[in-house]
Structure 1
Amino acid sequence: MSDLLVGLRQQLDTCPKVRRWVVALSGGLDSSLLLFLLQRLAPSQSVIALYIDHQLQAGSALWAEHCREQCGRLNIPFNLIRVTPDSDSEASARAARYHAFESFLQPGDCLLLAQHADDQAETLLLRLLRGSGVMGLAAMPRSRPLGQGMLLRPLLQQSRECLERAAFELGLEPVEDPSNANPRYDRNLLRLNVLPVLKQRWPGFLSRCSETAAVMREASELLTERAQEDISRCAERGGLSLARLNLLSQARQRNLLHVWVSEQSGHRLGRAQLLQLEKDLLHARADAQPVFRLPDHQLRRHQGVLYLLPDPLPLVEEGERNLVVGESIQLPLGCLQWQPARRGLPVGQRLTLQLRRGGERLRPLGRGGSVSLKQLLQEAGLPPWLRACQPLLLKDGEIVAVPGITLCEAAGSEEGLLPIWSGFGLS
């Protein structure tokens, strides 16, 4: 027990600026023990408990009451959130649970999860069986940002056996979710039928899994650092230059794409997806306009640049609005901003903003004649998906500027502000 308390104190001390410790309480042995230990270490006013009711088991409401009573005995505030997972699968329950965690946490909060070394070994085995890469084999991190707060797993180096002994010494009476005994779930199958055999055959199995996860995490960090260096070299017009991307080895290309897509969209590409992306976009004909779709995102290429865009693209609203020069405005696919220029629009001038409608003609500054807006946008290399969203600035019905592309002769010759449109995929 004393070793557990010392280890827990060391973990908590790595987070000195925490305002509230939020214990994810299920009523099971691990989280009940964590709550009890934390009550001994931290001031009661900085510790609260959070129970997530997935409403997948008939007894979940009774477990919530058990947790409420448990918190009452320890004088710890109790909070309950009910969620509705899309299905009874492990993945759906986890997604609903973490969404609730994120919405609950406030700045300065640290969510404490009672996962331990056996859980880490299960996670590593599951990721291995699913064909995960280096990041997947890093398993569960000890800590990471979550919502407005952070997440910490302070018992990750402790074995289940150690926690069971401590709970027995304290006389804890945790509840047991009957679904934990159902081998239909992959994690339960490993816990019940596989881990006991592995631990008996290799007594150091848990520590080896922890070491492997730590090594994989370091390797993943190195790969991410290299990918970010390559991304900075390949960055062009808000996307990636395919010419510079093709100068990299195939392994670095895939590493770059994996990290770039993950950082931009939150979606982690599996190896099969990476291979398909290479085939569909990187190796397609030069004149092709392929689209590679992911949940809520799509990848396109245009004039040698690879772009990651929302899917579906935002709807373009018709109509117009008044504005004054210097006023920044959020638009469907970007933002209208301003920068000082020797030749620009006078600050405070009243203009009308409208999006492209088709058929417009204008007289670009320095061109010496009129040109269609369609031709101008093509010459500027504007991707097709942005052309319908191109903002125009008018005065008395005449185009005075195409933000991000040109001023017009009607703008005059005054020093002022130049309109810049940071279109999605061009920033």
Structure 2
Amino acid sequence: MSLLDRLHARLERQPPTRHWRVGFSGGLDSTVLLHLCARLRARGLLVDLQAVHVHHGLQAAADAWVAHCTRVCQGLAIPLAILHVRTDGAASLERAAREARYAAFARVLPEDGCLVLGQHRDDQLETLLQRLVRGAGVKGLAGMPETRSLAAGRLWRPLLDEPRAALLAYAEAEGLDWIEDPSNADTGLDRNYLRHKVLPRLRQRWPGVDQVMARSARHLAEADELLGELASLDLQQARLVAQPFPWIPLPSLALAPLQRLSEARQRNALRAWLAALTRQPDSAHWAGWQAVREAGTASDPVWRLEGGSVRRGAGRIWWVPDAWQVMPSPQPVAARVGTLELRGNGRLIFTGQAVEAGWRIGYRQGGERLVVAGRGSRDLKRLLNEREVPPFLRGRLPLLWRGDELLAVANLPGLSALPGGGRLEWQPADGMGGFELG
């Protein structure tokens, strides 16, 4: 069976899709892939086909590569989108370029569209070895998945089972022209060192190592799938416990069900939970989880991760984005307003009562007291402790003042009543782009 027919067979196993986008760098792999896709289009498939070239500007010849890709796409009558990205100031240029590339692909991928990439079996082996020497876990050693979700669509790597030699033979037989990136010869880069120095020796000593390592990656991918199913079951138990503050728009889990798990199952469940929130913590960072898990109820441990922190409160763990670490500023309230947009802190709604002149919104500084019906004047700190308000939330709770008199605390039962019988309702911003967690 030819390479084209093998690709056709794999395409038939994919979900129905109208919009197809091919990542096209101009190199051998993507050139072969684009040529194959053009031939599949000639068979009546891949009707809405477009090439996407990401211009990093990292090579002096980058503009010439754009011109080359344009000529190739014109010859195949395939539309070409050119996306410019920047990676200025990145600590790891290789990683930053990769992340910028996928972010650009995600921006232009239509809903339910499919991005097709040309990575092959040699790329998979290099990825596996690179992650192995970096100490990756099961998920990392499973290598690149053939398919995964991307933005509102999905990503597909149909050539992962094909050796680079098969792509090269196809390109030469078809007389294709492609770009040779000079950086691919730089063995100072980890991936290139593995490609030029390590893999040739492995193949010389064990001629079947490509198939063996690819099989190992598939076994690990299966193991990772099983771990994912176990994590879903464990997270389901942690989500069954009712959230005591349903108006807090932050991801959270009940702590007790997690504490009953073994250490390994805890980490497995948390990796799955954190996957959509932050970069996966490495081995050294898990000490932060231990501190959160074992802290007393009166303490406020913080497990700092990229983009936010895991905090503890009200018998739960919470994902608190970095935006919540910046305390909001006090502000006056215009008379007779019904809704007040808070600076960086969502909005307030005054229900059942018009706002009076002289009211203002402030935030906790310490030492506040509130007159509570039937109890007299009470220390606000004690009132918050009684209601088990998570420590990370206390500095963001809007307080309604009239001069030096604290009138109400938003949302908390028994504390949110307005003087005239209304109620102070707060819709906090989630710190991740909106007022509700998507």
- Confirm or deny a common fold (TM above 0.5): yes
Superposition pairs of residues 17-416 of structure 1, within 5 angstroms: 17-42=16-41, 46-86=48-88, 87=90, 89-235=93-239, 237=243, 239-263=252-276, 265-274=277-286, 276-284=287-295, 287-302=298-313, 304-311=315-322, 313-321=325-333, 332=344, 346=352, 349-351=353-355, 354-356=361-363, 361-364=369-372, 367-392=374-399, 399=407, 402-406=410-414, 407-408=416-417, 410=419, 412=421
Unmatched 5+ stretches in structure 2? 244-250
Q: Is the 8 A contact 1:22 1:112 kept in 2?
A: yes
CA–CA distance in structure 1, aligned partners of residues 47 and 112 of structure 2? 14
The structural deviation recorded for 1:207 is: 2.6
CA–CA distance in structure 2, aligned partners of residues 78 and 418 of structure 1? 54
Question: Helix, strand or coil: the match of 2:2?
Answer: helix
Q: How many residues get paired? A: 411
CA–CA distance in structure 2, aligned partners of residues 232 and 324 of structure 1? 42
Please, what is the CA RMSD of the aligned residues? 3.4
TM-score (ref. length: structure 1): 0.83
Say if 1:98 and 1:25 are closer, same or farther in 2 by CA, change over 3 A: same
CA–CA distance in structure 1, aligned partners of residues 125 and 340 of structure 2? 52
CA–CA distance in structure 2, aligned partners of residues 306 and 190 of structure 1? 41
CA–CA distance in structure 1, aligned partners of residues 238 and 340 of structure 2? 29
CA–CA distance in structure 1, aligned partners of residues 202 and 344 of structure 2? 55
Q: Is the 8 A contact 2:346 2:426 kept in 1?
A: no
- Read off the aligned partner of 1:239 and give its amino acid letter: S
Q: Is the 8 A contact 2:142 2:217 kept in 1?
A: yes
TM-score (ref. length: structure 2): 0.81
Map Cα deviations across residues 388-421 of structure 1 (whole Å, 9 max, x no partner): 2213568999846631433538464x9xx99476
CA–CA distance in structure 2, aligned partners of residues 306 and 239 of structure 1? 5
Partner residue in 1 for 2:246: none
The structural deviation recorded for 1:5 is: 1.5
Q: Is the 8 A contact 2:407 2:418 kept in 1?
A: no
Question: Helix, strand or coil: the match of 2:266?
Answer: helix
Say if 1:72 and 1:59 are closer, same or farther in 2 by CA, change over 3 A: same
Structure 1 stretch 242-251 or stretch 146-155: which is displaced more? 242-251
How many percent identity over aligned positions?
38
Question: Helix, strand or coil: the match of 2:310?
Answer: strand
- Read off the aligned partner of 2:320 and give its amino acid letter: L
CA–CA distance in structure 2, aligned partners of residues 272 and 400 of structure 1? 44
Question: Helix, strand or coil: the match of 1:121?
Answer: helix
The structural deviation recorded for 1:71 is: 0.7
Unmatched 5+ stretches in structure 1? 339-344
Question: Helix, strand or coil: the match of 2:285?
Answer: helix
Q: Is the 8 A contact 1:63 1:175 kept in 2?
A: yes
The structural deviation recorded for 1:127 is: 1.1
Map Cα deviations across residues 226-276 of structure 1 (whole Å, 9 max, x no partner): 22322333346463444443322121122222222223x2321222222x2
Partner residue in 2 for 1:342: none
The structural deviation recorded for 1:33 is: 0.8
Q: Is the 8 A contact 2:50 2:79 kept in 1?
A: yes
Say if 1:368 and 1:290 are closer, same or farther in 2 by CA, change over 3 A: closer
